[in-house]
Amino acid sequence: MPQLTLFSDPKSKSLALSPKKPTSTSTTTTRNIHNSPESSRKAAYTKKGEEPNLWELHHIQEDMAAISKKRHAKDDDVSTEEAVVENPNKKRKADQGKDEEMKGQPDSKNGHSPQGGGVAGEKGPREKRKNAYEIKGKIATAEDAARADEDPPMNQLERLIEKGHKEIEKGESVAYWMRMEDLRIEDNTALYKASQKAQEFSVPLIALFVFSPGDYRIHDRSNKKIDFILRNLRVLKTKLNEMNIPLHIQSYEKRLQIPRRVIKEILPSLGAKHLFTNIEYEVDELRRDIATVKLGRENGIDVQCLHDRLVVPPGKIKSQQGKPMSVFSPWQRAWAKLLDQQPKYLEMSPSPKPNNESIKSNDKFAKLFEDKIPDHIEGFECPESEKLKELWPEGLDKAKELLDRFFHTKPRQKQFEFISPLNPGYETSAKQSRIQLYQTGRNLVDGDNSSRLSPYLAAGVISSRMILAEAKKLNKQGKLESGRDTGLGMWVQEVSWRDFYNHTMATWPRISMGRPFLEKFADVQWETNEDHLQAWKDGKTGFPIIDAAMRACKARGWMENRVRMVTASFLVKSLMLDWRLGEKYFMESFVDGDLAANNGGWQWTASTGTDPQPFFRIFNTLTQSEKCDPTGAYIRYWVPELKNLKGKAIHDPYHQMPKNEFKKLGYPEPIVDHKKSRERALFRYKNVGEKEDGA
């Protein structure tokens, strides 16, 4: 799994604060990325509309680089994007682009070094240079992002779905393509529609899952998330089997071939002419689906892409002027009003109908029941799988149990430890349940104050309609509460953030292209300090709450919301490291990694996102620590070096203890001075593109 590595730049370690304009050789400005001749060259490949743009080209090149070792002349299957495959000229361009891209890698001989994203460096071992190059490639140019925003792939897909649909005769089966975001049988729109079609035609329904390790790598999936997906697939396979529905498994390393493989190989092998799937709103996934629909049409296959992931699909909430909304509060009010006026949004899809048992003796389909869910995906092995099984037990039944506990049992202290959330010893309560205390509980890390449903929602093991329909039942008037004055309402608001961030991502695809939502902050000058980044990742910053949360993250693949904000703010505003480095690391670590929510959280913290709060909101790490872990129990558990500390020292041992006593702890000194780093952040945000003198 690629890990992002920064290069130490001794100059950047200085924290002196006096104004200085960056020089043209600065290695840190994102401005340099999109102004570079290389990016202009690549932008030239981009045609408006359906052509692969730089973003896709980059991925194509990454994929090609990854497979180049295995590739031989006899392998005529090196196609990348479907559009590229079909058009030899475009393919040549992609190949040519690859060569030039390789030339563009940092090379001390010709003095070239990559720039941008706060991650560039001139010298270092080859491996490190490659990593820097990879993160650079994850940031689209401003031009490409603007072009994508102009006509978002979501709109393109919707136009495609509306137009040109033709009735297609029945095949021998109907297929449902399950994605890693809709791992359930209940309340699954595409699965239900596929089942309806299969019933109409009196043919079997086949479920299909396509593993795409190339996607998992490029999209920074964590091994914990992949492990969670595999475990849930095993549960699903058994359940589908009981309904005589096979779960057909395929795996393709070359991710950009997937549309072609599905349309030209898998579906013909199943005799299927109808494919149903739920839409994923990330830009790469939307483009994959556009390619699939188009290729389907060329090959007499009807591909239906349906909204399912959210309570309210993107595009349904507009301002009075009919414009998309980017500010949460008014958007949330409109969301709540819509659910009130149109309760159909909370209605669930019926379950699919079982196939006839005869499928198990059918020559074509019987063997599909033997398809195996792999033990692991290469490169995503998860040695902690057994332990994680306890912490994040798989299956809808477990998710429902978690929800039930959240609604009806009291919070318990110490449930932040590495233990099952469904362990015994809980107490039911009608008045003091976790959801009722959520207004205060959501800001605490010293117990099981929130629902812990995020891995299940992110993988679609449970749907947000299901949890909100249950939340609605808790209100005596049968209304969905969503005001900030009750725990229940506050929680519903929190769930609505999930819809909000997906709406913004579908409307402004720049968000999944590595660009800031507010382009004006693209040139904020970041530090390039590898040691600081590593200390943050390892939980060795000398700030106990940061270290506790980061160590918890590594062990559990999960953090409480408050510490996600505090650790993110620390990386961006205290260490002045590019928020995209943190975004990437969280994705690589979390069991609930989800682009929309993760990016939304990072851009919110970095003040580059949709939040109207100005950039000068900077968390004070110490105050946050005292508030979210008032007893220090969380810190004591995750940072054992501090387990014997009492009082204020647990939050700030370096300043609260005599120096010789502190030294005995074996715990690092703080790696930054909070006051100075705050001033630095304020300066750099206020003077975008500039660094202080001496920095």
Ligand X SMILES: Cc1cc2nc3c(=O)[nH]c(=O)nc-3n(C[C@H](O)[C@H](O)[C@H](O)COP(=O)(O)OP(=O)(O)OC[C@H]3O[C@@H](n4cnc5c(N)ncnc54)[C@H](O)[C@@H]3O)c2cc1C
Report which secondary-structure segment, H or E, holds 20: strand 18-20
515 belongs to an annotated ligand binding site = no
Q: What does the alpha-carbon distance between residue 468 and residue 158 come to, in Å, rounded to a whole number?
A: 26
DSSP track, 318-330: B-TTS-B---HHH
DSSP track, 41-103: HHHHH--SSSS--HHHHHHHHHHHHHHTTT--TT------SHHHHH-HHHHHHHHHHHHHHHH
Among 351, 475, 486, 561, which residue interacts with ligand X (rule: CB under 6 A)?
561
494 belongs to an annotated ligand binding site = yes
* Residue from 415, 380, 30 nearest 222 by CA: 380
Min CB(181)–ligand X separation in Å: 11
Cα 26 to Cα 130, 417, 500, 569, 625, distances in angstroms: 19, 44, 36, 24, 35
Q: Which residues pair with 693 in a beta bridge?
A: 18
Q: Which of 302/594 has CB closer to ligand X?
A: 594
Q: What does the alpha-carbon distance between residue 482 and residue 364 come to, in Å, rounded to a whole number?
A: 50
Q: Which of 120/550 has CB closer to ligand X?
A: 550
Catalytic residues: 494, 497, 526, 561, 579, 602
497 belongs to an annotated ligand binding site = yes
Min CB(591)–ligand X separation in Å: 9
Q: Which residues of 16-31 are buried (b: 16+ CB within 10 A; e: fewer)?
A: ebeeeebeeebbbbbb
Min CB(193)–ligand X separation in Å: 25
Q: What does the alpha-carbon distance between residue 637 and residue 447 come to, in Å, rounded to a whole number?
A: 12
450 belongs to an annotated ligand binding site = yes
**Cβ-closest position to ligand X:** 601
Q: Which of 295/457 has CB closer to ligand X?
A: 457
501 belongs to an annotated ligand binding site = yes
Q: Determine how many CB atoms are found less than 10 A away from the CB of residue 620.
A: 15
Options 268-276, 277-285, 338-346, 451-459: segment touching ligand X (CB under 6 A): 451-459
Binding mask 511-550 for ligand X (x = CB under 6 A): ----------------------------------------
Binding mask 647-686 for ligand X (x = CB under 6 A): ----------------------------------------
Binding mask 462-501 for ligand X (x = CB under 6 A): --------------------------------xx-xx--x
Residue 468 in 3-state DSSP? helix
495 belongs to an annotated ligand binding site = yes
Binding flag, residue 451, ligand X (CB under 6 A):
yes
Q: Determine how many CB atoms are found less than 10 A away from the CB of residue 343.
A: 14
Q: Which of 535/568 has CB closer to ligand X?
A: 568
Q: Which of 568/645 has CB closer to ligand X?
A: 568
Min CB(353)–ligand X separation in Å: 30
Count the site residues for ligand X by CB under 6 A. 29
In the numeric block, which tokens belong to residue 677? 């780093």
Q: What does the alpha-carbon distance between residue 557 and residue 589 come to, in Å, rounded to a whole number?
A: 5
* Residue from 204, 211, 255, 266 nearest 233 by CA: 211
In the numeric block, which tokens belong to residue 516? 């800031």
Binding flag, residue 257, ligand X (CB under 6 A):
no
Q: Which of 253/470 has CB closer to ligand X?
A: 470
DSSP track, 3-14: ---PPP-GGGG-
- Residue linked to tokens 């006051």: 675
Min CB(560)–ligand X separation in Å: 6
Q: Which of 276/491 has CB closer to ligand X?
A: 491
Binding flag, residue 260, ligand X (CB under 6 A):
no
453 belongs to an annotated ligand binding site = yes
Among 178, 457, 480, 535, which residue interacts with ligand X (rule: CB under 6 A)?
457
Q: Which segments are annotated as binding site for FAD?
A: 438, 450-454, 491, 494-501, 592-594
Positions that interact with ligand X (CB under 6 A): 442, 450-454, 457-458, 494-495, 497-498, 501, 560-561, 564-565, 568, 586, 590, 592-594, 597-598, 600-602, 605
